[in-house]
Chain A
Amino acid sequence: MMNMNNKKVSYNANNIGLILLKLRTFIALFIILGFFSFTVDGFLAPTSVIIMIKHISINAFLALGITFVIITAGIDLSIGATLGFCGMVAGYLISKGLVIAPLGIAIFPSVWVVVPVVIIIGGLIGALNGLIITRYNVAPFICTLGTMYIIRGAAMLLSGGETFPALQGNPELGNTGFDIIGAGHFLGLPIAIWLMFIMAGIIAYIAKKLPFGRHVYAIGDNEKAAELSGIKVNNVKVWVYTIAGLCAGVAGLVVTSQLVASHPATGTAFEMNAIAAVVLGGTSLAGGRGTISGTLIGAFVIGILADGLVMMGVSEFWQMVIKGLVIIVAVIIDQMQNKLQYKAAISSQKLAS
């Protein structure tokens, strides 16, 4: 009798520990929020909160897109470059138009054309990554490292390294309105924030409700078993990278529109922040484990930490050190969670049989 009681108690303690661990990113978010609201005056004022979320949204677009890639145990280093390239394409189309040299004319597409074209270009870049990785069996790290350089170079080539300025468009050419994406509001909130939540909703829906989502997790968990279960592994992988590219395209549009200018170096090293957000959100780089809501919270933690430290006046160098520490601690806790989760499963299994 004593024995049984003991067992139950330790099992419950395990359980509470596990719940705390599972909610750790959430807890971390509240701790950070609490800390900064004490130390920084007006940290939680609506205007500064909205500005912060706007900053976060850029990283969130990338992080949401790359979550599926990481769940399949892949990686995409090219999303920062894709963001930059997509921004440059938007800038080019608006400021220079489609030049048809033989006729000596340039067509200026309206914003309604520019936006989908740019997003599709992002998707195509992602699909190309996926095709190279699956068709030629190239490690995702290497493949996307290569495409990162290629795309960044291509972005530079588009303008010769120059910035495309003043992308408000020209009323005479009928291509105005691009700046609304970055500056516009809907129901009192910036459009970028709406976009972030819509994108998170769509991707979470795919993850939870569609067979595609299940297949993504299955591939990350055990690729060979996935193949034998009749999952079209290569197709799924190509789509996963395509989604990462599409999201990077959206991010490129938002950044460019916010700046009302496009510079070819925009988005350099953004992929690292995105990966950090995904990992902070509890997605395992080994694949098979992760959630979309986790990624979103991860992006918030990183973003608030960055902005909060700036507002506190902490030096940029210390910011880097702190960000690095947070990431490493997060991964160590993640390992602890996996172990505890396994233990809890085993003990509940023992009770069952």
Chain B
Amino acid sequence: MAVENEDVILKAENISMVFPGTKALDQVDYQVYRGAVNVIIGENGAGKSTLMKIISGVQQPSEGQLYLKGEAINITSPRFAAQCGIGMVHQELNLSENLTVAENIFLGREKQTGLAPIDNQSQNQITKEAMARLKQDIDPTELVANLKVGQKQLVEIAKSLVGNVDILILDEPTSALSKKEVKILFDVINDLTEQGVSIVYISHRLEELMEIGQYITILRDGKFQSEALVEDIDVAWIVREMLGSEPVTNFLKPDRSFGDVVLQAKGITQINEAEVKVVDDVSFSLRAGEVVGIYGLMGAGRTELFECLLGKATYTGEFSLSDNIISGKTSTPERIKMGIGMVPEDRKKTGIFPISSVSNNLTMSSLWKRLKGFVIAESEEKESVAQAINELSIKVSSPQVEIQALSGGNQQKVVIGRSLLTGPKVLLLDEPTRGIDVGAKGDVFEMMVKLSEQGIGILFSTSDLKEIMAVSDRILVMSNGKMTADVLRSEADESSLVFASAQGF
């Protein structure tokens, strides 16, 4: 499905990006059409963000050439990109809450010379004009802290507009927005394209792409996959192009058998500080020896659900573990003792103890199991550490090595090992493959399957379609805090999962 159109504002030819150990982009050709919404899509790790970082000057490509309005150009820094009229709005908001709207917009490029004071008047005037362009009635002197999330997103866009932007890159701009705010954003995008601005739009929400996009580019495994006019295609086509036609690896043997229900959730609801239901009436069950995957996009409520399970958040509803009801007040240590093991999402922030030894990292959760009176039984501890290192095939020269010296995959194995040493009935893994390389991913999946064969119920979450299809006996889909699907792996197909992941709105 080739696209015939000469009006290309930015063209990337043969772009490659090599990081130590991986090739994030492999000879990608990409073009941005003038005055249109150019959608770019791909699985996690397909190379979207790397490509955008190259276009916006954050990184320089190892190979390849960019052409802006037909002329070869080297974009060496974000500042230079802004001079060329390329602006990027990142997924995470980069605003200083303690400053006003105008101050944020002019941060780092204040209208000021020498020792003269900042020219607030003209800053506010320009901000006002930008806001008018976005059809927003936001006072330039308002503190950003007082704005709603959607308005903050628009302030980010205004930041780019002030610099006279030709190409505006929006990286998942709707992931934190309500439906109404998304509508406003789409109106703004339409106005901007009418004013001649070219938009590059990254999102995982396929139905959104169908609504706003005009051109679509699909990347897969760091390579250019295809390009099409949105009006020519449908969601099923996108999923096919994104995932490829080759069958996904299946880590599960056929004819797996499961035991009794070990974990049951009934009507779990968690309301956050902003009074939004981040987990909305979720019910499910998990049987012994079963691997259940929760699929959902960022912000779908998967991490929050795990927090409820571990007793880290206040919630309504009820969990039961092998028929023992866990009350909402049961503390995390008690839940761990009851048999819930947790491998958290962000390994660096909440998983490892970086400067502690591998041995201490492994046993930290299960010291209560190895006490002689009040004292840690050292020989027993050494034994179980050695056993864990062996069973999980953790590559480490000595258990006394600081864990931060290990590779990501090995660190993850240690964190999994920590949970296993508590003797869990249920193991929760939140995005267990985040930030580890492909080989280690396979290891982690095999480990999950092996553990399930030992009778542990495994509940894991991911935003990667391939992963969810690779190791789940059953698939749950979450969207906007709600559970929107509960299907057997054998009856699931990718497009229906994608649809379910957008149903909660």
Contacts and interface: CB of A to CB of B under 8 A. Distances in A.
Interface stretch (A19-27, A32-40, A96-104, A211-219): A211-219
Nearest to B370: A211
Interface in B390-412: 395-398, 401-402, 404-407
B354 interface: yes
A222 B404 CA distance: 12
Contact of A348 (B331, B355, B401, B407): B401
Interface string B116-129: 00000000000000
B360 A222 contact: no
A285 to B, nearest CB: 13
Given A211-B367, A214-B367, A288-B355, A342 B360 contact: no
Interface stretch (A85-93, A227-235, A306-314): A227-235
A218 B403 CA distance: 13
B404 A231 contact: no
A224 B332 CA distance: 12
B350 interface: yes
A209 B375 contact: yes
Interface stretch (B57-65, B161-169, B336-344, B453-461): B336-344
B48 interface: no
Contacts of A224: 349-350
Nearest to B372: A209
A346 interface: yes
Contact of A222 (B331, B342, B354, B396): B354
Interface in B367-402: 367-368, 371, 374-376, 395-398, 401-402
B397 A348 contact: yes
Contacts of B499: none
B418 interface: yes
Contact residue range for chain A? 20 to 34
A92 to B, nearest CB: 36
Interface in B131-178: none
B360 A352 contact: no
Interface in B37-60: none
Contact of A352 (B349, B352, B396): B396
Interface string A336-353: 000001100110110111
B360 A214 contact: yes
Interface string A223-253: 0111111111000000000000000000000
B244 interface: no
B350 A228 contact: yes
A228 B402 contact: no
A351 B397 contact: yes
B351 interface: yes
A23 to B, nearest CB: 18
B354 to A, nearest CB: 6
B427 interface: no
B81 interface: no
A351 B398 CA distance: 11
A228 B342 contact: yes
The B interface is mostly helix, strand or loop, or mixed, namely mixed
Contacts of B375: 209-210
A226 B351 CA distance: 9
Contact of A345 (B351, B352, B401): B401
Nearest to A347: B405
Nearest to A212: B374
A143 B395 CA distance: 44
Contacts of B350: 222, 224-225, 228
A289 interface: yes
Given A222-B350, A341-B402, A229 B364 contact: yes
Contacts of B355: 221, 288-289
Contacts of B312: 227-228
B333 interface: yes
A348 B404 CA distance: 13
A225 B353 contact: yes
B105 interface: no
A348 B398 contact: yes
B310 interface: yes
Contacts of A232: 331, 333
B14 interface: no
A43 B406 CA distance: 49
A349 B353 contact: no
Nearest to A349: B405
19 contacts: A209-B375, A210-B376, A211-B371, A211-B376, A221-B354, A221-B355, A225-B350, A225-B353, A226-B353, A226-B364, A288-B355, A345-B401, A345-B405, A348-B397, A348-B398, A349-B395, A349-B401, A352-B396, A353-B395
Given A217-B360, A348-B405, 4 more contacts: A214-B367, A230-B332, A342-B402, A349-B401
Top 8 closest pairs, chain A to chain B, by CB: A352-B397, A345-B405, A230-B336, A230-B333, A221-B353, A211-B367, A229-B365, A353-B395
Interface of A: 209-211, 214-215, 217-218, 221-222, 224-232, 288-289, 341-342, 345-346, 348-349, 351-353
